[in-house]
């Protein structure tokens, strides 16, 4: 355990020593228009955003966190924030640093925010994630990556983004090869949370998925269980971890609860699926 911790610290120091460059995913400008803040969104930002959160993102970007010895697998990280802002540290940079410590190229996605006032708040972030996956595959050789081992890890709203991108029927080039959803939700019926929301379904070719959530996280734990059962119907590889305590928004924080071990459980799953081998 001490050896793994030391490796993580050394990787973190190396990454901070040379800040990775941001890459625009829409060089000609992102499609569509961003709405001005409503009062509700402005209040949400004022009361919920912290020092490490980002908002008013109109030009989405990628930032690569490459390990010293990449194993070819990459994971695009989509932080949460209610489609209003991004929790860019404990659900972003720290996650990318952890991924780099296990040989995976972590790629931070800064998708457009806020989109909460739009009729379909996920649409622009999903478009950004799809373009990001496409870009990673296009530049895989340059970045020493396997274009068939591109994952997407999403927290909260980022998990909702992942659900739509993995399950909505988009172009294969724009869908992840596997997904990691941490306390994602928003795809079940609010009145009947044991059922998927109308218009949302899991296709037979959905990518393998790792799910982790706390029992005391509102409807998100139910959403995770429902998604797992839908995966089970199609015999698609899926691993589900539900923890009694943890609440919402724990990210990479360590507060001595069993749920804080989700990164190790996720790494074990990735290894079992062959994504940590060279």
Each residue of 221-271: pLDDT tens digit? 999 999 999 999 999 999 999 999 999 999 998 888 999 999 999 999 999
d(CA 185, CA 163): 8
Residue entry with tokens 């060279």: 278
- Structure confidence by residue, pLDDT tens digits, 132-177: 999 999 999 999 999 999 999 999 999 999 999 999 877 778 999 9
Tokens representing residue 63 in the block = 């930032």
What count of other Cβ atoms lies within 10 Å of the Cβ of residue 118?
14
CB 149 within 8 A of CB 275: yes
Give the class (CATH, top level) of 2-272.
alpha beta
What count of other Cβ atoms lies within 10 Å of the Cβ of residue 147?
16
Q: Is the dihedral of CA 124, 100, 240, 244 positive or negative?
A: negative
Domain boundaries, given as residue ranges, for the chain: 2-272
On the question of pLDDT at 74 being above 60, the answer is: yes
Of 109, 116, 10, whose CA–CA distance to 59 is shortest? 109
Q: ω into residue 43 within 30 of 0, thus cis?
A: no
């Amino acid at each position: 355990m001490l050896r793994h911790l030391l490796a993580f610290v050394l990787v973190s120091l190396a990454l901070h020593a040379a800040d990775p460059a941001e890459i625009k995913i829409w060089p000609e400008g992102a499609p569509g228009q961003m709405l001005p803040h409503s009062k509700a969104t402005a209040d949400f930002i004022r009361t919920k955003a912290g020092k490490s959160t980002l908002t008013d993102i109109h030009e989405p970007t990628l930032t690569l966190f490459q390990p010293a010895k990449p194993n070819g697998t990459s994971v695009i990280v989509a932080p949460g924030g209610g489609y209003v802002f991004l929790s860019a540290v404990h659900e972003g940079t720290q996650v990318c640093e952890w991924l780099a410590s296990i040989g995976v190229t972590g790629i931070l996605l800064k998708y457009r925010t806020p989109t909460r006032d739009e009729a379909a708040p996920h649409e622009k972030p999903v478009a950004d994630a799809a373009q990001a996956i496409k870009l990673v595959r296009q530049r895989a050789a340059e970045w020493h990556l396997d274009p068939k081992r591109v994952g997407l890890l999403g927290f909260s709203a980022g998990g909702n983004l992942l659900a739509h991108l993995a399950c909505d029927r988009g172009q294969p080039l724009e869908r992840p090869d596997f997904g990691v959803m941490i306390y994602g939700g928003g795809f079940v019926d609010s009145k009947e949370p044991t059922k998927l929301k109308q218009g949302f379904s899991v296709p037979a070719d959905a990518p393998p998925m790792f799910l982790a959530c706390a029992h005391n996280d509102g409807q998100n734990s139910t959403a995770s269980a429902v998604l797992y059962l839908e995966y089970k119907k199609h015999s698609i590889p899926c691993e589900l971890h539900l923890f009694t305590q943890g609440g919402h928004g724990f990210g990479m924080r360590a507060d001595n609860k069993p749920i804080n071990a989700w990164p190790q459980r996720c790494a074990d799953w990735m290894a079992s699926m062959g994504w940590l081998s060279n």
